[in-house]
Amino acid sequence: MTHGMRKGLTSYGDPGFSLFLRKAFIKAMGLTDDALKRPIVGIANTGSDYNACHGNVPQLIDAIKRGVMLAGGLPMAFPTISIHESFAHPTSMFLRNLMAMDTEEMIRAQPMDAVVLIGGCDKTIPAQLMAAASADLPAIVVPVGPMLVGHYQGEQLGACTDCRRLWGEFRGGRLDEIEINAINERLAPTTGTCMVMGTASTMACMTEAMGLTLPLAASIPATHADRLRSAEASGRQAVAMASANSPRPSELITAASLRNALVVLQAIGGSTNGLIHLTAAAGRLGLKLDLDDFDRLGRAVPVLVDLKPSGAHYMEHFHWAGGVPRLLRELGELVDLDARTVLGGTLRECVDGAEFVRDQAVIRPRSAPVKPVGSMAVLGGNLAPRGALIKQSAASPALMTHRGRAVVFESVQDLTERIDDPALDVNADDVLVLRNAGPIGAPGMPEAGYLPIPRKLAEQGVKDMVRLSDARMSGTAFGTIVLHIAPEAAAGGPLALVRNGDLISLDVPARRIELLVEDAELDRRRAAAPSAATAPPDRGYAALFHRSVLQADEGCDFDFLVPGRALRGESPT
């Protein structure tokens, strides 16, 4: 097997010439033959002026390079797509698979013996995990780290759980223009990822629990010196991995480590998006997450981490309480400590090294959990034949069993236009239904599942309602919200059959979401034309996405990227 600069030579029909030419060009950067003989560590640079969460990437690259060189390797940084939540149209999820393809192909195309993946903002680490699993080159993830908290009028603020809550207060007329503008300046006070247990923090914690980062890499604040020390150590470790050609992602992403990640997802009150992204990464290695198993874990694993949006604290508090190693220690036999890590040993060694912080209240023992059951429940029923998800830790207990009249919105656009219409026929007991907002329908399954409370109800003080959709929601959101209904309406799912005024029953203890309409009537509706999804795009990435994206229960990956998966619409042979 070839290594370093000799790896993956460009095809000119003469390998000697290919190497000669490659070295001629790289020597233009002043490199010596000694440098070119070293193991090469690629560093995926996701810095971008459009990605404020990744504002510390230049410093992280410097630290990683230092670590690589101290260990005798040659660091080579290269750019990839970078995605920020608020700067991606129509939605960041639409671009996740593109970033995964870009990252995978750049790892394959360029000579490197190991790769350091700098990720953070919501879709970036998922894309990198998918890419790393497919490329299967030794890889270590360096999260950019969470932001510090903001402050307003003596209150701690966190992006973006408090963004939604305070915007809701503004919509309800309880905050004025001056106050909301002041808050806007303080919600994201530093570089780094959202400091609540949103998707970015969730993915970082699950990635650490799978052994794909150094211990504590998920939680060290983005602005702290420890973050740079961790990056330097990751660079050093990448050289050891490059020399040993191990561990590769396929050695680390296993049934045991995936289960550990799911246990952590439940215990941290993590983002619902975590399940979709983990499903996609596992799928790249032919591994399947079982939704029923995940639901069973939810009944066995308590929520132990007291972070917003399910709890009270923020990522920096989680870090100072001991972070993921301390959490894994508290989870005890619920996690498999024999799972391997990038350090070459097992998770047990990381847990043994966990700092024991006395009298902290952020990471609870199992004897005094934040919530006695896990954060998420998987629902079935006639509205969700292939499953749906509810984040019960962020839902209203009074609405966990509820029956109400459907108020249907045909699309995100329809929702935007009508939700605040004073003439909208809606009461606090109704069930808000959004369809055609799934992977195909929207497209890209936007985070539209957090349907706003209609203004006229918000002004009356209504804070939560049952809401359901085939969309996703931000990991920072809260409410009694049923998401990821599969199949989606645009793929012929029963969500397309709901009509205004139909009764819908949500029963979280029984894990059911039901449309209370006779089967014969549903058959009649099915035979009539279903709600029209948007017209399929006819060119470019959008057309590829429309043709190939899988449903939420399969991680919304592209069919042709999942080994052994039949192309959508074709039966497996």
Provide the binding-site residues for ligand FES, judged by CB under 6 A. Answer: 53, 84-85, 121-122, 159, 193-194, 198, 200
Closest CA to 118 of 65, 69, 71, 74: 65
Pick the closer one to ligand FES by CB: 124 or 411. 124
State in Å, rounded, how far the first CA of the chain is from the last one.
Answer: 34
> What tokens does 461 get?
């003080």
Pick the closer one to ligand FES by CB: 217 or 337. 217
Q: How far is the CB of 478 from ligand FES (least distance, A)?
A: 15
| 125-139 residues labelled b (16+ CB within 10 A) or e (exposed) | bbbbbbbbbbbbbbb
Pick the closer one to ligand FES by CB: 120 or 479. 120
CB of 549 within 8 A of CB of 443?
yes
> What tokens does 536 get?
């399929």
Pick the closer one to ligand FES by CB: 200 or 465. 200
Whole-number Å distance between alpha carbons of 45 and 48:
9
Pick the closer one to ligand FES by CB: 200 or 408. 200
Query: Which residues neighbour 13 within 8 Å (Cβ) at sequence distance 6 or greater?
Result: none
Find the helix or strand (DSSP H, E) in which 165 lies: helix 161-171
DSSP state, residue 117: E
Closest CA to 484 of 274, 309, 288, 287: 274
Q: What length does the chain have?
A: 573
CB atoms within 10 A of CB 75: 23
Query: Which residues neighbour 540 within 8 Å (Cβ) at sequence distance 6 or greater?
Result: none
Q: How far is the CB of 191 from ligand FES (least distance, A)?
A: 10
Pick the closer one to ligand FES by CB: 101 or 194. 194
Pick the closer one to ligand FES by CB: 122 or 208. 122
Whole-number Å distance between alpha carbons of 258 and 45:
26
Q: How far is the CB of 51 from ligand FES (least distance, A)?
A: 7
Q: How far is the CB of 46 from ligand FES (least distance, A)?
A: 11
Whole-number Å distance between alpha carbons of 559 and 24:
40
Q: Which residues pair with 513 in a beta bridge?
A: 506
- Sign of the Cα torsion 88, 79, 252, 7 reads positive
Q: How far is the CB of 82 from ligand FES (least distance, A)?
A: 10
> What tokens does 167 get?
């915007």
Query: 224-233 long-range contacts, Cβ below 8 Å, gap at least 24?
Result: 224/145, 227/56, 227/60, 227/145, 228/59, 228/60, 228/63, 229/63, 230/142, 231/60, 231/63, 231/64, 231/67, 231/142, 232/63, 232/64, 232/66, 232/67, 232/70, 233/67
Q: How far is the CB of 358 from ligand FES (least distance, A)?
A: 31
Burial class (CB in 10 A: 0-12, 13-18, 19+), 368: exposed
DSSP assignment of 3-31 equals: -GGGTT---SS-HHHHHHHHHHHHGGGT-
Q: How far is the CB of 199 from ligand FES (least distance, A)?
A: 7
DSSP assignment of 131-150 equals: HHHHH-S-EEEEE--BPPPE
CB of 143 within 8 A of CB of 122?
no
Q: How far is the CB of 103 from ligand FES (least distance, A)?
A: 17
Whole-number Å distance between alpha carbons of 441 and 283:
22
Q: How far is the CB of 469 from ligand FES (least distance, A)?
A: 21
Q: How far is the CB of 60 from ligand FES (least distance, A)?
A: 15
> What tokens does 197 get?
């247990």
